[in-house]
Amino acid sequence: MRRYFISMITLTICFYHILMVVVNASPNSLIKAYLGKEAQNYTGKLFAQKGELFAPHPAFFSLIFKIRCVEPKGTSPWFSPLKKIQKDHYSNRLAGKEKILFLYQNPIRQIVGLIEEKRENCKNITKEQCKEYVSKEVIREPSFRFLSKYASKKCSDWEMVLGKKYPHFYSKEKKSTRWDLIEKYSFNKEGLK
């Protein structure tokens, strides 16, 4: 009898755990309206499963990250700081260098996304006002502080370009260029240029 009792308690705990994880990850529904809060409290940060991490809407663009030094003695040519790491990563997939690339790519992705999001709010203001508004929002971001600190390590005064490059939409013709659309934003120490 005792073993049945122990088994039933454990199985109930297991069932409750799975139910809470499923409810927490499920889209809005009647069940979520009843159990959502409890599920969120239960799963917390440890058990929450995030579906978006498994590429439902994959990022099909490439990121742009370029810096140039603007110093009294002259302006340097543009350089891409991650090019060498990327090249190493292409030649050896087992070295785990994607982690270094993530460290820079995620902030770039975040800033470019933020600019796109904030520009949506610019419908009723002038271009200059919009630039000022977006710039203020970007400067506040830890990601921007991170990238500007990185640029400051390379040169005392700098210009930085962040952006996205989109490949051509599928077509049977072979295109002469690799990219169809390039969206880029220039920054200096003060923010968006």
Partner 1 sequence: MSLLIDLKNFIGNFSLEEVNPKVKKLFRVCLLSFTFIHTLTILAYKKWLLSPEGISLSLEMAPKAQGLNLFSLLSMESVRPFVGVFFFFQIVSIILAMRGKFSIITNFLVLFFTLNLNTLIQPILDGGNQVSVILLFFNCFLKTSQNNEKKASFINEIRTSLSNGAFYIIKAHIIFLYITAAVSKLNGPLWKSGMSLYYILQSNEFGHPLIFNNIHVLEMPLTFLTYFTLLFQVCLPFLIHHKLMRLPMIFVGVLLHLGIVFTMGLFHFGTFMALVYVIFLKDKEITFLQKLPNKIFKRGIYEN
Q: Does residue number 174 form part of the binding site for partner 1 (CB under 8 A)? A: yes
Which position among 73, 84, 123, 178 is part of the footprint of partner 1 (CB under 8 A)? 178
Which position among 28, 57, 72, 120 is part of the footprint of partner 1 (CB under 8 A)? 57
* Residue 128 or 173 with smaller CB distance to partner 1: 173
Which stretch in 34-42, 70-78, 91-99, 117-125 sits in contact with partner 1 by CB under 8 A? 91-99
Phi, psi dihedrals of residue 147, rounded to the nearest 5°: -70, -35
Q: Does residue number 31 form part of the binding site for partner 1 (CB under 8 A)? A: no
- Give me 27's structure tokens: 């889209």
Torsion of CA 143, 149, 154, 157, to 10 degrees: 110
What is the DSSP code string of 103-139?
Answer: HHHHHHHHHHHHHHHHHGGGTTS-HHHHHHHHHHHHH
Minimum distance, C-beta of residue 81 to partner 1, in the bound complex (Å): 11
Within 8 A by CB and 6+ apart from 158, the residues are 67, 68, 69, 70, 151, 152, 188, 189
Which position among 28, 30, 33, 58 is part of the footprint of partner 1 (CB under 8 A)? 58
* Residue 70 or 82 with smaller CB distance to partner 1: 82
Say how far apart CA 80 and CA 85 lie, in whole Å: 10
* Residue 5 or 30 with smaller CB distance to partner 1: 5
Say how far apart CA 128 and CA 9 lie, in whole Å: 65
Q: Does residue number 55 form part of the binding site for partner 1 (CB under 8 A)? A: yes
Q: Does residue number 177 form part of the binding site for partner 1 (CB under 8 A)? A: no
Q: Treating both helix axes as pointing N-terminal to C-terminal, what angle do 127-140 and 142-154 enclose, rounded to 10 degrees?
A: 90
Q: Rule CB under 8 A: which residues touch partner 1?
A: 2-4, 6-11, 13-14, 17-18, 21-22, 25, 45-47, 49-63, 86, 89-90, 93-103, 105-107, 142-143, 145-146, 149-150, 167, 170, 174, 178
